[in-house]
Amino acid sequence: GIGEALARHYAAQGATLGLFARRESELARLEAALASTTVATYAGDVRDADALARAGADFIARFGAPDVVIANAGVSRGTLTDEAADLPAFRVVIETNFLGMVHTFSPFMAAMRAARAGALVGVASVGGFRCLPGACAYCGSKSAVITYLESLRVELYGSGVAVVTLCPGFIATPLTAKNPYPMPFLMSPERAARLMADAIARRRRFHVLPWQMAWLSRLLRIAPRS
């Protein structure tokens, strides 16, 4: 999905990559496809802070402080509060989408502060603006991510480390392939990666993509609660 598209985009620019994901087989496949690029892969779950700490320490020891750290891991589940069986799904979504981002950034903070450079990039969603029925765990987690990144941006003010919030609309990935409803302005992962990388390069504080979804999101934010 988005993570692989971003990896391929930055590899084409000659970047050194550190890739962290759950499926070791998928990491191996992508590493083989990027054979001309320096790639360090780490298999693990972003809910495991210790696993990310070990990966971050190894990457810094080998390559130094990163220029860009992108927290992109995300899952979605249909959830209803009145269904007790959905409570574990709430936990998985919140821990992956929100705490997973915190766990991703944490190992690199000291090195990036010392370098007084770099960008921490959080992939949120337009779903964080207004919630959809049955998606309260996903939309709630993305809303929390947006607020968290706002706070982190202020905390790092003057440090030289930028914080970029990316809010994509619908991207054609395995995650959205399961959606049983129309998805306006659907984008390919490759196009999304190009737009995201451009926003990161320009150190955009807050960026919604594509532009059509940016205008729609503005309308959603000011729409009456009724």
What's the one-letter identity of residue 159? S
Nearest Cα neighbor of 93 from 126, 134, 54, 44 is: 134
> Pick the catalytic residue: 10, 138, 157, 181?
138
CB 135 within 8 A of CB 127: yes
| Angstrom distance (rounded) from CA 159 to CA 175 | 35
What would the two tokens of residue 207 be? 């960026």
Please count the other Cβ atoms lying within 10 Å of the Cβ belonging to residue 21: 19
| Angstrom distance (rounded) from CA 93 to CA 134 | 13
Query: Is 138 designated active site?
Result: yes
| Angstrom distance (rounded) from CA 167 to CA 50 | 27
Question: Angle at the Cα of 163 (from 145 to 49), degrees rounded to 5?
Answer: 55
DSSP code of 86? G
Which residues are marked as active site? 138
